[in-house]
C-alpha cells in the first residue's frame, strides 16, 4: 500500500488536518498531488511499437500509452523509431509536429 502521507509535504499536514482526514480522502489528495507532479515531467522516447490500429503506442522506455479514440487514425500513421514527447497527456510526434491525446496504461 502506498504511504500517501509521504506524497504530501509535512507543512501541509497541519494545514489540511491530515490526521483527521479519512483514509479515502488522504488517498485522493496524495494521488492528486502525484498526478500534478507528473504533469510537469515530460517523457521523451522513440516509438517501439504501434498496436491495435493506433490504439496503443509502446515506447522504447517500456511505457505504454492508450491513444484517444478520436486520434487513433493519426497514431496509426506514425512509424516505429519516431521520436515523440509526452507532455500533460499529449504525445507529440517530433518529426511532423502532429499530436494525439494519450493516457499512460497502468
Q: What is the pLDDT of residues 64-90, one digit of tens each?
A: 999 999 999 999 999 998 999 998 889
Beta strand spans in 1-98 (E): 43-51, 56-59, 64-67, 83-87, 90-93
What mean pLDDT comes out for the span 4-31?
A: 82
pLDDT score, position 4: 67
The pLDDT of residue 1 is above 50: no
47 neighbors 79 (Cβ within 8 angstroms):
yes
Distance, CA of 6 to CA of 45 (rounded, Å)? 29
Q: Tens of pLDDT along 9-21?
A: 788 888 888 888 8
Instruction: Collect all residues with Cβ–Cβ distance below 8 Å to 105 and sequence separation of at least 6.
Output: 56, 63, 64, 65, 66
Q: pLDDT: is 93 or 32 the higher one?
A: 93
Question: What pTM was computed for the model?
Answer: 0.65
Amino acid at each position: 500500500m502506498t504511504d500517501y502521507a509521504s506524497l504530501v509535504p509535512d507543512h501541509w499536514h497541519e494545514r489540511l488536518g491530515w490526521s483527521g482526514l479519512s483514509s479515502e480522502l488522504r488517498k485522493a489528495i496524495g494521488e492528486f498531488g502525484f498526478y500534478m507532479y507528473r504533469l510537469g515531467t515530460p517523457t521523451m522516447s522513440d516509438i517501439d511499437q504501434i498496436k491495435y490500429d493506433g490504439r496503443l503506442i509502446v515506447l522504447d522506455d517500456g511505457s505504454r500509452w492508450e491513444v484517444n479514440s478520436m486520434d487513433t487514425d493519426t497514431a496509426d500513421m506514425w512509424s516505429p523509431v519516431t521520436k515523440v514527447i509526452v507532455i500533460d497527456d499529449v504525445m507529440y510526434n517530433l518529426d511532423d509536429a502532429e499530436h494525439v491525446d494519450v493516457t499512460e496504461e497502468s
